[in-house]
Structure 1
Amino acid sequence: MDLDHARKIAVEAAEAAGALLLKGTRGALGVRAKGDAGDVVTDLDLASERLLLDRILTAYPSHTVIAEESGLVGAAGGEWTWLVDPLDGTNNVAIGLPAYVVGLALCRDGLPQVGVVHDPVSACTWSAVRGRGATASSGARLTAVHRPHSRGPLLAWIQGYDVARDDPTLRRLKTALDLDARRVLQLWAPLLAWAMLARGDIDGVVGYRAGVIDLPAGALLAMEAGAEIRALDGGPYEERVDAAETRSFVAAHPRSMPALLSLLG
């Protein structure tokens, strides 16, 4: 398997989907509810996903694809599986907020090998291949940073849509962050948060019961930029993913991790 070629295919597909999204956000979106937890889906999600599925399956017809809207495409349990998020930040798009990205990950037996995140608004693409680092479309390498802050770290928060507002762990974590972090960003576009960590724009990401469709691409991007990911209790983070699971985690530069874990109690 040529992972450099897979990254090229993924970058081209994500950028084509991004062009479709950028044009589509200027017109009617066709927004409708998705489930009972406040999530929504638009005609753009579906159109972007069709484009991505066509590109990926044309290049790799024997691969499995798990997509945000379509679910499993192809046989389950294959060696190579693509995870597709055609529009990460749909709720933002629905209210006219231009904070959204396209994400693709290629996993081998559940372990992320290639990750691509494309931001249509800034026309930037960030990608990573396992063991080879993470880069921007400009060619610049991405590097997570350690910056001691007297007023606390700048963090991004990610949570799953099925988390109840009165969840005791949710309330404990958010209270701790509100008290001790300098600022907590709730972008509702997890892949954008991962890209910000990989670029060194923020100090860490805290996730609680986050969905897994967009997780591998972002996590690989951050790790290849030098970030570390741990479980909320500081224990090991399991990199292999199952599309049906959710994850809770802390991600930061290794030198920033002890203070962040201490902040969470």
Structure 2
Amino acid sequence: MAINDRDLVIEAAEAGAAIVRSHYGTSLTRFDKSGGDFATTADIEAERAILDVLRAARPDDVVVGEESGRTGTGGNGRMWLVDPLCGTLNYAVRNMLVSVNVALRTGTQVVVAASADPFSNEVFWTDGAGSNVRREGVDERLVPSAGSRLVDVNLDPPFPNEPGFQAARLLADKGFVEQFRPRVVSTTLAVAWVAAGRRAAYVTDGHQHDSVHFAAGIALCQAAGCVVTGIDGQPLDTGAGGLVIAADEQTHAALLTLVANQRAGAA
């Protein structure tokens, strides 16, 4: 019997996570990319494992991988977005904070997505009807919560909204530290953690349209009931771009106020 898209996205993410685990702590060959970025043997092989799973089940779909680019002729409106190892620099220095992200966009919507933590053996997944975490074959519903007050701020480039907005400036803002506690994980695993109630919010600059890094996490958070907008509160993929994901409206509104204050101060 043919595998459905929900099970396929989980299987693909788990295949990538298995490769990432197997290479952890080994001597890794680095492959330089632009802007000082790089991939490792683990990135390349994890992406290959994910693509093998997807190609075997959906040979007619387009796949966009961070390392291999776009493959497949498409024509059916289905596109897989694959980030085989989000947090490569963490991983390269033997920091276990990484994720493996796979998402399927049909038309304009991401319909299934998974973000796997290779070291906790957790897979955060959504089929659009809700978001769950799978541990040892058992699924648990994700419930966002702002109770921790922990806000993850992505400090990695690009920064298209400089100088009006700089994510790093949030960390020194008196209004921010009065309400929240900053965290910098440097992987989109932290986006899934907002859906799971392990973070109150996540903030980043940059353009997120069809992002292999963010598509899975955004879909998880939307399906879990988080508030998800661009950096100025606008609909995603419009305006200035960026991303503010919050567990609830109050947290989201507070972060938008901080962003607006920063822009006003730079004017």
Aligned 8 A contact 1:177 1:263 in 2: no
Which shifted more, 22-31 or 112-121? Answer: 22-31
Which shifted more, 71-80 or 8-17? Answer: 71-80
In structure 2, what is the equivalent of residue 242 of structure 1?
A: none
The structure 1 residue matched to 2:183, chosen from 182, 185, 204, is: 185
Q: Deviations over 1:191-238 (max 9, x none)?
A: x01111011111111110055112111001011111011222222234
Once the two structures are superposed, the pairs formed by residues 115-194 of structure 1 within 5 Å of their partners are 115-130=113-128, 132-137=129-134, 138-147=138-147, 153-158=149-154, 161-163=157-159, 167-171=162-166, 173-179=167-173, 180-181=176-177, 182-190=180-188, 192-194=189-191
Cα deviation for residue 77 of structure 1 reads 5.9
In structure 2, what is the equivalent of residue 203 of structure 1?
A: 200
In structure 2, what is the equivalent of residue 59 of structure 1?
A: 57
Aligned 8 A contact 1:116 1:127 in 2: yes
| Distance of 1:70 and 1:94 partners within structure 2 | 20
Change (3 A) 1:174 1:226: same
Cα deviation for residue 78 of structure 1 reads 4.2
Q: Percent identity?
A: 28
CA RMSD of aligned residues (A): 2.3
Number of residues paired by the alignment?
248
Once the two structures are superposed, the pairs formed by residues 1-265 of structure 1 within 5 Å of their partners are 5-36=4-35, 38-75=36-73, 78-130=76-128, 132-137=129-134, 138-147=138-147, 153-158=149-154, 161-163=157-159, 167-171=162-166, 173-179=167-173, 180-181=176-177, 182-190=180-188, 192-210=189-207, 212-238=211-237, 247-252=241-246, 253-265=248-260
Tell me, which stretches of 5 or more residues in structure 1 are unaligned? 240-245
Tell me, which stretches of 5 or more residues in structure 2 are unaligned? 261-267
| Distance of 1:257 and 1:203 partners within structure 2 | 9
Q: Which amino acid aligns with 1:175?
A: R
TM-score between the two structures when normalised by the length of structure 2: 0.85
Q: Which amino acid aligns with 1:13?
A: A
Aligned 8 A contact 2:65 2:212 in 1: yes
| Distance of 2:171 and 2:158 partners within structure 1 | 21
Change (3 A) 1:103 1:30: same
| Distance of 2:65 and 2:140 partners within structure 1 | 29
In structure 2, what is the equivalent of residue 243 of structure 1?
A: none
Aligned 8 A contact 1:155 1:204 in 2: yes
TM-score between the two structures when normalised by the length of structure 1: 0.86
Cα deviation for residue 76 of structure 1 reads 5.4
